[in-house]
Amino acid sequence: MFSLKKVFRSGYFWLSILSITVVAIAAALVPLETANILNYALAKDINTLIIWSIVLLATIAILLIFESFSQYFSVKYSNKFKADMVNHLTISISKKDWYSFQKKGTVDYLSYYNNDIEVLEEDYFQSILKSYQGFIALIANISVLFTLDKLLMVVVVISSIIPMLIPFIFQKHLAKLKSENMFQITNFNNKLSDFLDGFQLMKGFKKEDKFLNRLNLATESMNESKEKHEKADVTSNLITGIAFYISFIASLIIGAYRIATGTTSVGAVTGILQISDNLIYPINLISSQTKTLMATKTIRNDFKKLCSFDEKTNNYEDLNDKQNAIIIENLSFGYNDTKILNNVNFTFEKDKKYLLIGPSGQGKSTLLHLISGDIADFSGKVLVNKDIKNGIRLIPQKSLLIRDSIINNLTLFSDKPLGNVKNTLEKFKLNKFSSNEKLQAEFPNNVSPSGGEVQRMSISRTLLEQPQLLLLDEVTSALDKENQKFVEVELLKNFKGTVISVSHNYSEESLNYYDYVVEINDSKISVINKTDLEKNKSHNN
């Protein structure tokens, strides 16, 4: 399981920590060396003055060198873990079953990539380094203060604690506002997706004003949530700044009093005031980054949950049977609290053709997904013939072409004999795409197949895999009668294997290709006579 704590095992992280530590120590030593230079100048000790001046120059040189190292390693560390998050998120999504995957929309997943990972990189990974930078700078400066004046050190430390506690006061409020802002960003992306994907619908119904108003409301909500978070953050920073300047004034007054009473030197107080001024940055850094880290808690938990896997019981078993392809035993499944299939039992024989019919919403397509392994969380058993378990392919009603060449869409990046690819295209009347030039054409930039052609390409792609069991989910719904007829011949008459097909627009001729007609209705599954099909057809949508 991916853990954000992997950050602490990165070599670049520890090199960044080392560089930040050296920079913080060097920066803290500068006021001490400045105080010594001032004291020796007042004492007119030229030789020692020159030595401390050289030491100061060397310290500044070290500071600049390691500051560049710190920036370099920080960038390398940030980029590496951003890449790791993207990679692990992609792997985690790819391991989900279809049912779990489709619980979120495409826009939600894109939001994880484009928003949440960016937030985690900037507000979590970088904030860890910045928090350490503030913390080590604070420790280094306090240590130098101790060598200059112990009493003033106590005053500065005590007065510095108050600004550091302020982020904890705003913690829950800022985290809530940050979470709300991320929600509104996702909501805006959803509305934007509807606006772009539904462009034809919007124009066709002349509802531009309604779509625009919906998108504008989402934009306003997103901007308002961002403004609320920024206002709360500014308020927290303002209170922190006021608290710090109060501590600075207190240190100045006490330091001036100790000079007047002769209990400390001018150089010491000058160094202390310089360090007090230097404490502004680390204290503000600790304050701001603590708030930022706390605000990412919800996002971190959501990311961790998305990348986690629930161990599910494996309800699929191998079937040692030469006659049967699939045996379903006591299968039950539902969406949310609604049972779709309840205690279903059925046997599909090898090399037989089955037509699944029944009213809409009775679980026909769901059954195909259960057989194909797209749904892992169900009760009962699906026994799959071990000889065909790797040869099961589902052709969905809605086909998809990826943004790549036609040949890659057909082979899905695997090596297929070019002759087989061309023959399959010609078999499904896709000859115009079978030339070498067209096969290399990029979709959708250089070639734009029609809806029916996309469906036939999806079928061609499946048959190139040489499947042994075809699951067909309304595969001819996007085809005209002429194309529907020859596709049914290829898939039902000529295909040598098992076919389980869901169809509402089957033709009378295609019924002759089926061995069995199976009805699913009210969680019951049964074989019916073809002669009775016309009576049952009136129940289908």
- What are the tens digits of pLDDT across the range 364-397? 999 999 999 888 889 999 999 998 989 999 998 8
161 vs 186, more confident: 186
Q: Is pLDDT above 60 for 165?
A: yes
Average pLDDT over residues 176-189: 88
Q: Tell me what pLDDT residue 509 has.
A: 82
Q: d(Cα 212, Cα 528) in Å, to the nearest integer?
A: 51
Q: Which two tokens stand for residue 336?
A: 């949310």
Q: Is pLDDT above 70 for 540?
A: no
Cβ atoms within 10 Å, residue 155: 19
Q: Is pLDDT above 50 for 99?
A: yes
Exposed, middle or buried: residue 429 (CB in 10 Å: 0-12, 13-18, 19+)? middle
Domains of the chain and CATH, by start: 1-149 (no CATH), 316-401+449-539 (3.40.50.300)
Cα separation values, 192 from 102, 216, 226, 287, Å: 19, 10, 18, 36
Cβ atoms within 10 Å, residue 510: 22
Q: Is pLDDT above 80 for 130?
A: yes
Q: Which two tokens stand for residue 212?
A: 């625009």
Q: Tell me what pLDDT residue 472 has.
A: 95
Q: Which pLDDT band holds residue 277 (cuts at 50, 70, 90)?
A: low
Q: Is pLDDT above 70 for 313?
A: no
Lowest mean per-residue pLDDT among 309-323, 330-344, 403-417: 309-323
Q: Tell me what pLDDT residue 533 has.
A: 67
273 vs 87, more confident: 87
Q: d(Cα 177, Cα 226) in Å, to the nearest integer?
A: 8
Average pLDDT over residues 279-308: 79
Q: Is pLDDT above 70 for 526?
A: yes
Q: Tell me what pLDDT residue 538 has.
A: 47
Q: Which two tokens stand for residue 216?
A: 């504008």
Q: d(Cα 164, Cα 285) in Å, to the nearest integer?
A: 9
Q: Is pLDDT above 50 for 541?
A: no
Q: Which of 150-154, 157-161, 328-332 has the highest mean pLDDT?
A: 328-332
Structure confidence by residue, pLDDT tens digits, 352-370? 999 999 888 889 999 999 9
Please provide residue 400's backbone torsions phi and psi, each rounded to the nearest 5 degrees: -140, 135
Structure confidence by residue, pLDDT tens digits, 119-129? 888 888 888 88
Mean pLDDT computed over every residue of the chain: 85
Q: Which long-range contacts (CB under 8 A, 24 or more apart) does 191-195 make?
A: 191/215, 191/217, 191/218, 192/218, 193/105, 193/106, 193/107
356 vs 505, more confident: 356
Local structure of 254: helix, strand or coil: helix
Q: d(Cα 464, Cα 485) in Å, to the nearest integer?
A: 20
309 vs 424, more confident: 424
Lowest mean per-residue pLDDT among 230-244, 303-317, 331-345, 405-419: 303-317
Q: What size, in residues, is the chain?
A: 541
First to last CA, the chain: 45
Q: Which pLDDT band holds residue 495 (cuts at 50, 70, 90)?
A: very high
DSSP string for residues in 434-484: -SHHHHTPBTTTT----HHHHHHHHHHHHHHT--SEEEEESTTTTS-HHHH
Local structure of 393: helix, strand or coil: strand
Q: In sequence order, what E strands does 389-448 have?
A: 392-395
Q: Is pLDDT above 70 for 513?
A: yes
Query: What does the buried/exposed string (b/e) look like for 382-403 if buried means 16 or more CB atoms within 10 Å of the residue's CB?
Result: bbbbeebbeebbbbbbebebee
Q: d(Cα 199, Cα 196) in Å, to the nearest integer?
A: 5
Q: Tell me what pLDDT residue 368 has.
A: 94
Q: d(Cα 137, Cα 125) in Å, to the nearest integer?
A: 19
241 vs 44, more confident: 44
